[in-house]
Structure 1
Amino acid sequence: MYQLERAIFDLRRGVPVLITDAEGDRLVRPLEGHHAGELATLLERCGQAPRLVVTRHRLAAAGFHAPSEEVALALGDEGLPEALAEGEIPSHEARLPATPAERVALGMLRRGQLVPVALAATPRAGGEVERLVADGTLLALDAREAEVALANLGRELTRVSEARVPLADAEVTRFILFREGDGMREHLAVVIGEPQAWPEPVPIRLHSACLTGDLFASLLCDCGEQLRNAVRDIHALGGGVLLYLDQEGRGIGMANKLRAIGLQEAGLDTLDADACLGFGHDERGYASAVAMLHQLGIQRVQLLTNNPRKLAALTEAGIEVTKRQAVYGRVNEHNRAYLTTKAGRSGHWLESLLDQDDSA
């Protein structure tokens, strides 16, 4: 786990990482923040043109067929075409299934909330890369071990701190902070009311953090209103828990969320904008939410949600969902397209909300 954590932070700083595997070692670095000097250094260390590793989502958004979930574009000896640096996918580049090391590289970029596009090259045997790994300048990690560690992230949580935090809509409330095992994500359990007085099943909501909506009341979504309405509803039901999850932008992070909003300004819907960056329709997982519920001793719930994926995730993890309750914000001229996309393409239960007039 420690090696994976350090490798992700190195990639976030633009430092290459060596990922080793029997099918071929790869020296990788994110395309994000790329400039010509760093590419020249990569070419010098490896002695060959790199491959550009992308997701099938990015290829599909560009109109190309992907042979696998992660794809490597074999670049020519001239290096990185300008169009690729700008995010385009030229039609003439050979598209090959990514190697295990390249697949892990994209998983690490996702975890680091970077755009999932990587440059990857095979280092020379006995060359400078080996020397830099030996003296600790570059980090090397095993692809298989990193893949297992990535798959298990979020399942181990530490309860770090807690305090009473009275809220306007729920005065008897306690915040409990949980930290994931790699230290990169922190989640809050907002415990409303006294647990011994909670109804059975326990009312809960899984709320993904949305800085723009929750804090700044952005009109582009209904997240802030959903958050406050959920607190109010849980309090009215006799208490329960709102899990405030560090999953900004459906799991892609604030930087990529702002990039996606920019693409929406150009006419894309919220899901196609994410795909252009290389992300799936929803990058969130709910292992952390399940772990938090287990630590809080909650097994049977009344779930406040409009999202079928949240209900399915809890059920598959063994949490008994006995009832679902909708929780809405308001529709306005700025968020109607966003909500319509969530209902039409992601299956969210929003029909009754969207039937309302914008002025309602």
Structure 2
Amino acid sequence: MHQVERAIFDLRRGLPVVVIAGDTRVLVQAIEGATDASVSGLAGHAGGTPALVLSRHRLAILGEPEARGAARLSLPEGTGRRRLVDLAFGIAPEVAMEPEALAGWRRSLEPAQAADRAALALMRRALLIPAALVARVSEAQRSAVEARVSEGTWLAVGAEQAERCLEGSVGMLQRVSEAQIPLADASDCRFILFREPDGLREHVAVVIGEPRSGDVAVPLRLHSACLTGDLFGSLRCDCGEQLRNAVADIQALGGGVLLYLAQEGRGIGLANKLRAYTLQDSGLDTLDADQILGFGEDERRYGVAVDMLDALGIRRVQLLTNNPGKMSALAEGGIEVVERQALYGSLNDHNRRYLSAKSERAGHLLDAVFDGDQGPTARS
């Protein structure tokens, strides 16, 4: 894991890393931060023309809706950064590129190999656009690349290890610190901070009151961090209201736990969430906007929540949610969801389309939200 962590930081800084898959060496670079010089430089270092690895979600935008997985797109020599951005996350690549060229590039698609899949996993873990510039190292350049790795200029990481980075480190969550913090709706609260072993993310368990022990189901809310809604009161979602309502509801139920998870934007990160908001302003709904960027409808994983509950000795819960996916994820992790309780915020003109997409396309249990013109709304 140590090399993967360092590789993620290098990719975020715009540096290439070497992914090793068997006897193959592949230079990998993020699309974000790439320049025309760095793109051509990657080709020179590898001794061959780079390719672009794209997720199946992005491939659907490029006219490949039947793609079952990621694929690599061969790039003509001299392809610059602007074209890469158009292909990787441009809203309408067919407008920015000649239709004949786009069709030709689609015909050059090949299934992603181990190093390609590892590259996409690293991008996702780094909260970057899930597209990667890759270049297989030729035999002529292999010794030069290995020399750069030996001298510490570049990092090398195994493809299998990198591909597993999205799974996190189950059972290795670190309980770091805690403190009593009274809240407006619950004066008896204890905040417990957990850190993932790679140090990239920290999550907080808010223990409200004295949760009942034994076989009694503990009231529980899994709340994904939302800077814009939780802190600034954004009207584009109802996250802030749900957060505060969850604290009040758990207090009224006699105590329980709220897990505040570092999963901004359904797991795509704040930078990509803001990009998705800009796309929504052009008329897309939240799910289509995420797909334009190469993401699925929900990139969150809940293994860390299961680990936090294990650390707190909680195995049976009364879950405050409207998202069946959270119920399934906890059950798969061995947590018994005894009961579900809906959790609502307020419907407004700014979040109506967002909530409609969640209800109609993502299967969230929001029928009561849209009963009548006005009324409560919910976010998972």
Provide the residue aligned with 1:285 in structure 2. 301
Give yes or no for contact 1:49–1:79 (8 Å, CA) kept in 2: no
Q: 1:213 is aligned with what amino acid?
A: G
Closer, same or farther in 2 for the Cα pair 1:153/1:275, shift >3 Å?
A: farther
Provide the residue aligned with 2:85 in structure 1. 85
**Matches of 1:344 and 1:269 in 2, distance apart?**
11
Once the 2 structures are TM-superposed, how far is the Cα of residue 41 of structure 1 from its aligned partner? 1.0
Provide the residue aligned with 1:46 in structure 2. 46
From 125, 131, 138, the counterpart of 2:154: 138
**Matches of 1:209 and 1:172 in 2, distance apart?**
22
**Matches of 2:116 and 2:153 in 1, distance apart?**
21
Provide the residue aligned with 1:101 in structure 2. 115
TM-score (norm 2): 0.91
Tell me, what secondary structure is at the counterpart of 1:244?
strand
Q: 2:146 is aligned with what amino acid?
A: E
**Matches of 1:144 and 1:56 in 2, distance apart?**
20
**Matches of 2:150 and 2:134 in 1, distance apart?**
20
Identity of aligned residues (%): 55
From 338, 352, 366, the counterpart of 1:350: 366
**Matches of 2:246 and 2:176 in 1, distance apart?**
24
Q: 1:287 is aligned with what amino acid?
A: G
From 122, 126, 129, the counterpart of 2:145: 129
Tell me, what secondary structure is at the counterpart of 1:226?
helix
Q: CA RMSD in A?
A: 1.7
**Matches of 2:211 and 2:346 in 1, distance apart?**
31
Provide the residue aligned with 1:180 in structure 2. 196
Give yes or no for contact 1:199–1:237 (8 Å, CA) kept in 2: no
Give yes or no for contact 2:4–2:165 (8 Å, CA) kept in 1: yes
**Matches of 1:80 and 1:127 in 2, distance apart?**
27
Q: 2:79 is aligned with what amino acid?
A: G
Closer, same or farther in 2 for the Cα pair 1:276/1:160, shift >3 Å?
A: same
Closer, same or farther in 2 for the Cα pair 1:256/1:149, shift >3 Å?
A: closer
Once the 2 structures are TM-superposed, how far is the Cα of residue 25 of structure 1 from its aligned partner? 2.0
From 269, 273, 294, the counterpart of 2:310: 294
For residues 249-284 of structure 1, what are the alpha-carbon distances to aligned partners after superposition, in whole Å with 9 as ceiling and x for unaligned?
000000000000000001111001001101110000
Where does the alignment leave 5 or more consecutive residues of structure 2 unmatched?
Answer: 94-101
Give yes or no for contact 2:316–2:335 (8 Å, CA) kept in 1: yes
Once the 2 structures are TM-superposed, how far is the Cα of residue 49 of structure 1 from its aligned partner? 0.9
Provide the residue aligned with 2:354 in structure 1. 338
Provide the residue aligned with 1:71 in structure 2. 71
TM-score (norm 1): 0.96
Where does the alignment leave 5 or more consecutive residues of structure 1 unmatched?
Answer: none
Provide the residue aligned with 1:14 in structure 2. 14
Provide the residue aligned with 2:233 in structure 1. 217
Q: 1:277 is aligned with what amino acid?
A: L
The answer to whether the aligner puts 1:311 opposite 2:322 as a matched pair is: no
Tell me, what secondary structure is at the counterpart of 1:110?
helix
Tell me, what secondary structure is at the counterpart of 2:344?
coil
Give yes or no for contact 1:23–1:100 (8 Å, CA) kept in 2: no
Provide the residue aligned with 1:110 in structure 2. 124
Closer, same or farther in 2 for the Cα pair 1:72/1:220, shift >3 Å?
A: same
Give yes or no for contact 2:212–2:218 (8 Å, CA) kept in 1: no
**Matches of 2:213 and 2:72 in 1, distance apart?**
55
Provide the residue aligned with 1:159 in structure 2. 175
**Matches of 2:198 and 2:364 in 1, distance apart?**
31
**Matches of 1:67 and 1:350 in 2, distance apart?**
31
Once the 2 structures are TM-superposed, how far is the Cα of residue 357 of structure 1 from its aligned partner? 2.4
Closer, same or farther in 2 for the Cα pair 1:349/1:359, shift >3 Å?
A: closer
